[in-house]
Every structure is written in C-alpha cells, then in structure tokens.
Amino acid sequence: MASSVIAIDGPAASGKSTMARMLAERLNIPYINTGSLYRAIAWKALKLGIPCKDAARIADMLETTRVRYAVPPEGGNPDIEIDGAFPGALLRTQEVAQGASDVATLPLVRRFTLDIQRDAAKRQLVVMEGRDIGTAIFPDAAHKFFLTATPEARAKRRLSQGGETPDGATVASVAAEIAERDRQDSERAVAPLKRADDAIFIDNSGLSIEETLQLLLKHVKGNES
C-alpha cells in the first residue's frame, strides 16, 4: 500500500511551501514542513556554540536531542518540538537557514531525521514538503510532485515579497545566485535535490498560485477516483 503522504519537493523559492500549506488546507489534512527539522537541529547547535558542519559534535548533540512533530499549544499544523519546546519563528532567521543548509549535508543528520519524518505521517494522510520526500523519505508516497520555476521567475517572486518592482539587473543577479544554488543542491553527494522518476513535474513560472493549486488538486483527486 502507498504511504499516506502527498510529497512536494522542489528547489528554494519554487513556491512549494505556499502550495503545500494551501493544498493541506483545501484537503483539510496536516501540513508538514521538513525544512524546519534541519533548522531546529541547526538552531540547537548554534545555541550551544557547535559549528553546523562539525559532524562529530553534531552527532554527540543528537544523542541527547529529542525531536518530533507535534501540534503546538496554540493549535494548527504539527510543528517541530525540540527538547520539549516549540522554537517556531526562531527558526526563520538567516543564520539558522545557513546552519540548516550545513547540517542537511551530514549523512548522520539525514539518518536522524528519517524516522522523525516517517513518524509524522503514521496516523493520517499529510502533505509533506521538502527536497527528498518523494525520493528518500517516502519513495512510495501516494502522490508526488516536483515543483519548480525558472530562476528568473523565482528571483522576481522573492524580490517582490518586499512590495517593490525590481529592476532587470537586480532580477538577473538574484536569478544567477538561485541558479548557482540549484546546481550545488543537485550536485551534492548527500541527498541531492532531484526529481523522483514518478513525480509529477510542474513548472509554475507562468502560473498563478490558484492555477498551480488547481493542478495539484486535479491530480490528487483524479487518482482517488
């Protein structure tokens, strides 16, 4: 039987978090953001002064770290609980994002996070978003999507989040940075970002949020009937 997971993978700024959250809301099922798991590990390491690339010290730290997805006291989607606390918004800083990117390349961290992610989908159908959900975590997911957009489209979205219309040169320079990060993420030895052979590929460069959502819903509902 397929795992009770709708997997949404894709590169940074591809719109997958927005899409995963909206899809879960429409289907009335939980949304699980797996980036938070790597961020929580980095957050604890940074608090303890442990460099996020130091495999031996991160391994020691994880021996006494308890992490799981749980519904926070205020309700809503399951969120990361680490050593009994919900760090929530504290995980969204640039420093933690960089640390997450470092710890995510350590094989021991990927082994540590595997069961935590699998446990999060044990009880019911969930939408799970990340980089390797459809390939490494749930190769037998009920539905798999790989969401992406051109580096230019992603650069424009990221820049316009600040409410301004970016000029062509700024878009081009951010698009070049995004393309370079894609290359690194796809070529790294550990858990590279790659589309599962059986994932539905959606390039949403020219699509609105609602159009992309309708496309996902069509596939999910179509496969049910």
Residues that bind ligand DC (CB under 6 A): 34-35, 38-39, 97, 100-101, 104, 130-132, 191
User: Given phi > 0 = left and psi -120 to 50 = alpha, else beta, which region is 54?
Assistant: beta
Q: Which helix (H) or strand (E) holds 148?
A: strand 141-148
- Pick the closer one to ligand DC by CB: 201 or 218: 201
- Residue 224 Cβ vs ligand DC, minimum distance, rounded to whole Å: 25
- Pick the closer one to ligand DC by CB: 88 or 214: 88
Contacts of 61 (CB under 8 A, 6+ apart): 44, 45, 48, 50
- Residue 2 Cβ vs ligand DC, minimum distance, rounded to whole Å: 19
Query: Of the candidates 39, 157, 16, 28, which has an alpha carbon nearest to the alpha carbon of residue 93?
Result: 39
Residue nearest to ligand DC (CB): 35
- Pick the closer one to ligand DC by CB: 190 or 218: 190
Dihedrals φ, ψ of 190, to 5°?
Answer: -95, 125
- Pick the closer one to ligand DC by CB: 42 or 225: 42
- Residue 107 Cβ vs ligand DC, minimum distance, rounded to whole Å: 12
